[in-house]
Chain A
Amino acid sequence: MTIDRRSFLAGASASATILAAPGLVQAQGAGPIKVGEINSYTAQPAFLKPYRQGWELALEQINAGGGVLGRKIETIFRDDGGKPEDAVRHAGDLINAEKVDLLSGGFLSNVGLAIADFANQNKRLYVASEPLSDAIVWAKGNRYTFRLRPSTYMQAAMLVEEAAKLPAKKWAIVAPNYEYGQSAVKWFKDLLKKAKPDVEFVAEQFPALGRIDAGATVQALEASKPDAIFNVTFGGDLTNFVRQGNTRGLFEGRTVVSMLTGEPEYLDPLGAEAPVGWIVTGYPQADIKTPEHVKFREAYMKKFNDYPRLGSVVGFDTMNSIGAALTKAGSTETEKLVDALKGLKFPSAFGAAEYRAVDHQSTLGAYVGKTALKDGKGVMVDWSYRDGAKYLPSDAEVKVLRPAG
């Protein structure tokens, strides 16, 4: 319970340098553009294996089209093992020793914040793909950091919209005890209270990430007799929580509103034990028929012989948005890239999106729906796409939330 394997990926971890394309290096004198990509590959493989594949798909497509600025893009992957300390070390090594042009990646919010702080101090660009904490673009936002995925604020806002429609008054909460969990809970409570002033929060459980004692936690939530539950756990914690909750009847007669649970990376491992009727954010990958997505999905399945997870989309979109930024900037110089990213419109698998100039948050959205069981597998039903732009506060509010400007 006190130390885990992630903490053992001490120091620089297994790093694999992947040359983007086996083809000849451009003969123009300039070598490839280098992207230093730091992620928790071994600690969060469920999300990050597909992420890396999505990234490689986009990279292949870009380089097959001649790269950008007449140069190929090359990625140096580093594994932070889920430890911010290691992420910072990699960031230093990538910039100083590998001389990368920009940094990207980050899965866990605390890792993302640490890289963002490092990027700001060293005046280097960091495109945060997955870390969801809103602090990355708001409270601790800085000139050099941009973030792709809808934040904890945005996803909480999408879920609150549904939660407010429920009759439930008494809410219980379970969330992992680090930046992502804390931030998601804060916004969910704030926004739900605003939408429905008579709700009360009767229990909060903050198990350490990857260390949930599910039986006792379920019992503690049960003891508060909530009308509804807001869940923020994911991965192994979610699996243990759902299993104990099912057996102990925690979810019966209660609505559960849950972050990320509709993502295939977390829903699929639950198999037939997947919960039914939870209101979730996620990714109904098989059912999205927009042309952008169909094209992406087909290319992905062809290359990897596997269906995409949400991680695949995030990896794909991050690489594409970096490519678009390089093209727009016409340079690999950090300051020019930063200026190019402000207000940059880029194509994504979910349709066009934009990095907002005001807070560097992209307007990529998320799917909200309900979980159901189909052929012994968890799926999302009654879903709809929520455009990120609609779930962000006004520019004036953002200016208050983001002291860095």
Chain B
Amino acid sequence: MDPGPPLRSAQDDARFRDSHQAPHGSCMIDLILTQTLNGLASASSLFLVASGLSIIFGVTRIVNFAHGSLYMLGAYLAWTLVGRFGPADALGFWGGVLVAAVLTGLIGVVIEVLILRRIYQAPELFQLLATFGVVLMLQDVALGIWGAEDKIGPRAPGFKSFVVIFGNRFPTYELFLIAVGPIVLLILWLLFQKTRWGTLVRAATQDREMVGALGVNQRLLFTSVFAFGSMLAGLGGALQLPREAVTLHMDLAMISEAFVVVVVGGLGSVTGAYLAAVLIGILHAFGILIFPKITLVLVFLVMAVGLVVKPYGLMGKAPVGHSRAHGPPEPLLLPADGPTKLAGLIGLVILALVPLLAPDHILLTLTELVIFALFATSLHFMMGPGGMASFGHAAYFGLGAYGAALAVKWLGAPMEPALLLAPFLAGIAGVVFGWFCVRLSGVYLAMLTLAFAQIAWATAFQSVDLTGGDNGILGVWPSAWAASKTVYYYLTLSICAAAIVALRLTIFSPFGYGLRAARDNALRAEAIGLDVVRIQWVAFAVAAFCAGIAGGLFAFFKGSVFPTYMAIPRSVDALLMVLLGGVQTVSGPIIGAFAYAGLSEQLMKMTMYWRFVLGLSIVLLVVLFPRGLVGTALALRERWRKEPQPAVSLVEAKP
């Protein structure tokens, strides 16, 4: 044990202990002040990462999911470099930290030039997904280079000890971190106010077109901004070195908090990011003191409340112009023609015949695929015709699963009523969450769905008494009559097929048309008497309800329910299925679900670095096939027909 040379004598220390016997009140105040300092200390790295994220968003309008990964790389690089330069030596340590930050900035340049540059014009969701692909790739890069073991960094030279503040020992390094936040904020302010580059960044944040008009080299500006933001993230990671172990899951742990900070602070606002980081840091510190069991929920609750009360954040401004500013206009959507319907029917018949031929494990895989097809279709319903991209659809899948499991655990319900109940829990959550979400659009809506999903996840994770927390709920097995794999498969297939067909019919019903009208042009839709918000709200709830059906079936299929059912990766799975299939087609999500789930399973069996391959596939998908499999196929077919008289061929498409 080497806490470094103590600054105080043993007597001081004894006195310090005695002070603990002081009246309760002053103790309480000391504790509050110390916990505030703790909060400020953890706010610093959060601020560095979040400010980088915010600046990048401000200029390029990209929400960079990979920013947490850059933070992680910064920490790993610092660990390596500091070790090499000599951790005991001040120059070695701080030099290592700074070089790590600069290297992270260079990695940012590589990412920007190779990937992001190609997707600046794509819809927000595609950008989010592409950067998520980068997250997966960088995870495996880090695993390959540094291995799975946690890395413990050295203490910072000159900051190994503590001082006594408010009657408590406080590490000097934490004090240093507290100072870093405002210093960086000041540097950023000077940079933005006093340099030409900073002026350009501010101008671009306010109005992108203006920069183009000024004749500025936009490419160079974007690349430099991305490098700068990456460097801040890398610095944030490197500075964590003396504070906590470097691990492979730092990236996502950080990014979800950084999202909260950026959203609460206002996308694009650096000062807002600082205020929000301090808010979150302090909230954490006191959460541990007051509600040690709901610390995770608290943070996302703040984000949700923030988005509801101030949709554009503490210091943010409403985006200028149309909410669906980029991305091409929605193409024509037509009901399936004869051959397509026949193909669908044949597919269903094949699925129905599989149990007669295939071995058990194929049947199990298919059961899962069918459930995911419904899950993806439900997301598509709100995302395609509804135009509401959800980054937290797993919440409703998970709530369906938990609805079923809780009914079994607490009500002793058998499978049948539990399955009936499941979608209602999801649907009710959809009604409540949806009410808030449909009032936003685009990236703000996606962020709010993410916040709600994280609230649901954190609630399941931390309400140990109700949900079993991380232990999950076990023993959610089907009734005896449905216990066989074949019977359960047929049960799943019939319910999911019915739900998918119902969703499809709805898309072509008056309600579905109303939903599309609201998406295509909300102003116009209102002007022909459509209640856009309510239509979207109902669609949101319907999508949640159907995801709940899928979740309930999944619970009895697996026999157990865990918080991971609601975690971000499952939401991303759903998005990928929809996008792989093609968001602008109705059969896309089904094809996408089968393709994605099948592909990822094969990938995982093939290589240990499947995350890298999956991430790369996502990036390539976004860059090369933004219309998805079905969308691309339709486009090819259309081209093949050479559009002789599309109008006529449409008329003849009989239902």
Is A in direct contact with B (CB under 8 Å) within the complex? yes
Q: Please list the 3 inter-chain residue pairs (A to B) with the smallest Cβ-Cβ separation, ordered nearest first.
A: A4-B249, A5-B249, A97-B361
Residue of A114, A236, A240, A247 most packed against chain B (CB within 10 A): A247
* Binary CB contact string for chain A from 243 to 270 against chain B (1 if under 8 A, 0 otherwise): 1101111011100000000000000011
Tell me which residues across on chain B come within 8 A of A5, comparing CB atoms.
139, 247-249, 251-252
Question: Once bound together, how far apart are the Cα atoms of A269 and B150, in whole Å?
Answer: 9
Question: Once bound together, how far apart are the Cα atoms of A275 and B2, in whole Å?
Answer: 9
Tell me which residues across on chain A come within 8 A of B470, comparing CB atoms.
84, 110, 177-179, 208-209
Does A24 lie at the interface of the complex (its beta carbon under 8 Å from any beta carbon of B)? Answer: no
* Binary CB contact string for chain A from 223 to 255 against chain B (1 if under 8 A, 0 otherwise): 101000000000110011001101111011100
Q: Contact at A216–B361, with CB atoms within 8 Å?
A: no
Task: Give which listed residue, A1, A83, A209, contacts B564 with CB less than 8 A.
Answer: A83
Does A11 lie at the interface of the complex (its beta carbon under 8 Å from any beta carbon of B)? Answer: yes
20 contacts between A and B (CB under 8 A): A1-B296, A2-B299, A2-B567, A3-B256, A7-B568, A8-B611, A89-B558, A96-B360, A114-B474, A114-B562, A117-B559, A118-B559, A177-B464, A206-B292, A208-B295, A210-B247, A210-B249, A213-B42, A215-B243, A249-B13
Q: Contact at A4–B136, with CB atoms within 8 Å?
A: no
Q: Contact at A249–B162, with CB atoms within 8 Å?
A: yes
Task: Give which listed residue, A14, A239, A253, contacts B152 with CB less than 8 A.
Answer: A239
A247 and chain B: residue at smallest CB distance: B171
Q: Contact at A216–B152, with CB atoms within 8 Å?
A: no
* Binary CB contact string for chain B from 338 to 356 against chain A (1 if under 8 A, 0 otherwise): 0000000000000000000
Task: Give which listed residue, A93, A121, A219, A272, contacts B2 with CB less than 8 A.
Answer: A272
A86 and chain B: residue at smallest CB distance: B564
Find residues 135-181 in chain B having any chain A CB closer than 8 Å to their own CB.
Answer: 136, 139, 143, 147-150, 152, 155, 160-162, 168-171, 174
Q: Contact at B1–A253, with CB atoms within 8 Å?
A: no
Q: Contact at A85–B562, with CB atoms within 8 Å?
A: yes
Q: Contact at A216–B560, with CB atoms within 8 Å?
A: no
Does B253 lie at the interface of the complex (its beta carbon under 8 Å from any beta carbon of A)? Answer: yes
Does A127 lie at the interface of the complex (its beta carbon under 8 Å from any beta carbon of B)? Answer: no
Task: Give which listed residue, A4, A178, A206, contacts B471 with CB less than 8 A.
Answer: A178
Tell me which residues across on chain A come within 8 A of B564, comparing CB atoms.
7, 83-85
Tell me which residues across on chain B come within 8 A of A274, comparing CB atoms.
1
Does B600 lie at the interface of the complex (its beta carbon under 8 Å from any beta carbon of A)? Answer: yes
Question: Once bound together, how far apart are the Cα atoms of A4 and B68, in whole Å?
Answer: 11
Does A63 lie at the interface of the complex (its beta carbon under 8 Å from any beta carbon of B)? Answer: no
Q: Contact at A223–B1, with CB atoms within 8 Å?
A: no
Q: Contact at A204–B38, with CB atoms within 8 Å?
A: no
Tell me which residues across on chain B come within 8 A of A206, comparing CB atoms.
292-293
Does B35 lie at the interface of the complex (its beta carbon under 8 Å from any beta carbon of A)? Answer: yes
Does B330 lie at the interface of the complex (its beta carbon under 8 Å from any beta carbon of A)? Answer: no
Does B569 lie at the interface of the complex (its beta carbon under 8 Å from any beta carbon of A)? Answer: yes
Question: Once bound together, how far apart are the Cα atoms of A205 and B289, in whole Å?
Answer: 9
Does A10 lie at the interface of the complex (its beta carbon under 8 Å from any beta carbon of B)? Answer: yes
Task: Give which listed residue, B147, B252, B601, contacts A3 with CB less than 8 A.
Answer: B252
Given contacts A5-B251, A118-B560, 7 further A-B contacts (CB under 8 A): A5-B247, A41-B148, A85-B560, A85-B564, A208-B462, A216-B284, A236-B245
B154 and chain A: residue at smallest CB distance: A271
Tell me which residues across on chain B come within 8 A of A97, comparing CB atoms.
361
Question: Once bound together, how far apart are the Cα atoms of A275 and B35, in whole Å?
Answer: 24
Question: Once bound together, how far apart are the Cα atoms of A275 and B607, in whole Å?
Answer: 40
Q: Contact at A208–B296, with CB atoms within 8 Å?
A: yes
Does A343 lie at the interface of the complex (its beta carbon under 8 Å from any beta carbon of B)? Answer: no
Interface size class of B (residues with CB under 8 A): 35 or more
Does B124 lie at the interface of the complex (its beta carbon under 8 Å from any beta carbon of A)? Answer: no
Q: Which of B55-63, B374-382, B453-461, B645-653 contacts A (4 or more CB under 8 A)?
A: B453-461
Does B305 lie at the interface of the complex (its beta carbon under 8 Å from any beta carbon of A)? Answer: no
Question: Once bound together, how far apart are the Cα atoms of A220 and B607, in whole Å?
Answer: 44
Given A117-B475, A249-B162, A223 contacting B361 (CB threshold 8 A): no
Does A334 lie at the interface of the complex (its beta carbon under 8 Å from any beta carbon of B)? Answer: no
Q: Contact at B454–A220, with CB atoms within 8 Å?
A: no
Q: Contact at B296–A84, with CB atoms within 8 Å?
A: no
Question: Once bound together, how far apart are the Cα atoms of A68 and B519, in whole Å?
Answer: 67
Task: Give which listed residue, A2, A10, A216, A276, contacts B35 with CB less than 8 A.
Answer: A216
Does A12 lie at the interface of the complex (its beta carbon under 8 Å from any beta carbon of B)? Answer: yes
B2 and chain A: residue at smallest CB distance: A272
Tell me which residues across on chain A come within 8 A of B174, comparing CB atoms.
215
Q: Contact at B471–A179, with CB atoms within 8 Å?
A: yes
Does B512 lie at the interface of the complex (its beta carbon under 8 Å from any beta carbon of A)? Answer: no
Does A299 lie at the interface of the complex (its beta carbon under 8 Å from any beta carbon of B)? Answer: no
Interface size class of A (residues with CB under 8 A): 35 or more
Q: Contact at B458–A121, with CB atoms within 8 Å?
A: no
In the complex, number of A-B residue pairs with CB atoms less than 8 Å apart: 236
Find residues 280-324 in chain B having any chain A CB closer than 8 Å to their own CB.
Answer: 284-285, 288-289, 292-293, 295-296, 299-300
A346 to B: closest C-beta gap in Å: 28
Task: Give which listed residue, B3, B461, B472, contacts A208 with CB less than 8 A.
Answer: B461
A165 to B: closest C-beta gap in Å: 23
* Binary CB contact string for chain A from 9 to 45 against chain B (1 if under 8 A, 0 otherwise): 0111111100000000000000000000000011101
Tell me which residues across on chain A come within 8 A of B359, comparing CB atoms.
96
Q: Contact at A10–B361, with CB atoms within 8 Å?
A: no
Given A110-B472, A236-B247, A246-B1, A84 contacting B560 (CB threshold 8 A): yes
A103 to B: closest C-beta gap in Å: 14
B160 and chain A: residue at smallest CB distance: A247
Does B257 lie at the interface of the complex (its beta carbon under 8 Å from any beta carbon of A)? Answer: yes
Does A140 lie at the interface of the complex (its beta carbon under 8 Å from any beta carbon of B)? Answer: yes
Question: Once bound together, how far apart are the Cα atoms of A4 and B72, in whole Å?
Answer: 12
Given A121-B559, A220-B289, A240 contacting B245 (CB threshold 8 A): yes
Does A222 lie at the interface of the complex (its beta carbon under 8 Å from any beta carbon of B)? Answer: yes
Does A327 lie at the interface of the complex (its beta carbon under 8 Å from any beta carbon of B)? Answer: no
Task: Give which listed residue, A1, A11, A85, A246, contacts B601 with CB less than 8 A.
Answer: A11
A174 and chain B: residue at smallest CB distance: B292
B211 to A: closest C-beta gap in Å: 35
Task: Give which listed residue, B1, B39, B160, B562, contacts A84 with CB less than 8 A.
Answer: B562
Task: Give which listed residue, B150, B361, B601, contacts A235 with CB less than 8 A.
Answer: B150
Does B364 lie at the interface of the complex (its beta carbon under 8 Å from any beta carbon of A)? Answer: yes
Question: Once bound together, how far apart are the Cα atoms of A97 and B360, in whole Å?
Answer: 8
Q: Contact at B168–A219, with CB atoms within 8 Å?
A: yes
Does B604 lie at the interface of the complex (its beta carbon under 8 Å from any beta carbon of A)? Answer: yes
Given A96-B364, A216-B39, A235-B150, A276 contacting B168 (CB threshold 8 A): no
Does A358 lie at the interface of the complex (its beta carbon under 8 Å from any beta carbon of B)? Answer: no
* Binary CB contact string for chain A from 268 to 307 against chain B (1 if under 8 A, 0 otherwise): 0111111110000000000000000000000000000000
Q: Contact at B475–A252, with CB atoms within 8 Å?
A: no
Q: Contact at A219–B31, with CB atoms within 8 Å?
A: yes
Does A211 lie at the interface of the complex (its beta carbon under 8 Å from any beta carbon of B)? Answer: yes
Residue of A6, A16, A213 most packed against chain B (CB within 10 A): A213
Question: Once bound together, how far apart are the Cα atoms of A211 and B252, in whole Å?
Answer: 12
Q: Contact at B361–A239, with CB atoms within 8 Å?
A: no
Does B638 lie at the interface of the complex (its beta carbon under 8 Å from any beta carbon of A)? Answer: no
B23 to A: closest C-beta gap in Å: 14
A41 and chain B: residue at smallest CB distance: B148
Does B34 lie at the interface of the complex (its beta carbon under 8 Å from any beta carbon of A)? Answer: yes
Question: Once bound together, how far apart are the Cα atoms of A84 and B461, in whole Å?
Answer: 13
Question: Once bound together, how far apart are the Cα atoms of A278 and B17, in whole Å?
Answer: 21
A133 and chain B: residue at smallest CB distance: B471
Tell me which residues across on chain A come within 8 A of B562, comparing CB atoms.
83-85, 110, 114
Question: Once bound together, how far apart are the Cα atoms of A11 and B245, in whole Å?
Answer: 27
Q: Contact at A216–B288, with CB atoms within 8 Å?
A: yes
Q: Contact at A225–B20, with CB atoms within 8 Å?
A: yes
Tell me which residues across on chain B come within 8 A of A269, comparing CB atoms.
150, 152
Tell me which residues across on chain B come within 8 A of A179, comparing CB atoms.
470-471
Tell me which residues across on chain B come within 8 A of A177, comparing CB atoms.
293, 462, 464, 469-470
Question: Once bound together, how far apart are the Cα atoms of A269 and B257, in whole Å?
Answer: 28
Task: Give which listed residue, A114, A215, A217, contacts B472 with CB less than 8 A.
Answer: A114
Q: Contact at A2–B2, with CB atoms within 8 Å?
A: no
A275 and chain B: residue at smallest CB distance: B1
B68 and chain A: residue at smallest CB distance: A3
Tell me which residues across on chain A come within 8 A of B454, comparing CB atoms.
2
Does B610 lie at the interface of the complex (its beta carbon under 8 Å from any beta carbon of A)? Answer: yes
A172 to B: closest C-beta gap in Å: 12
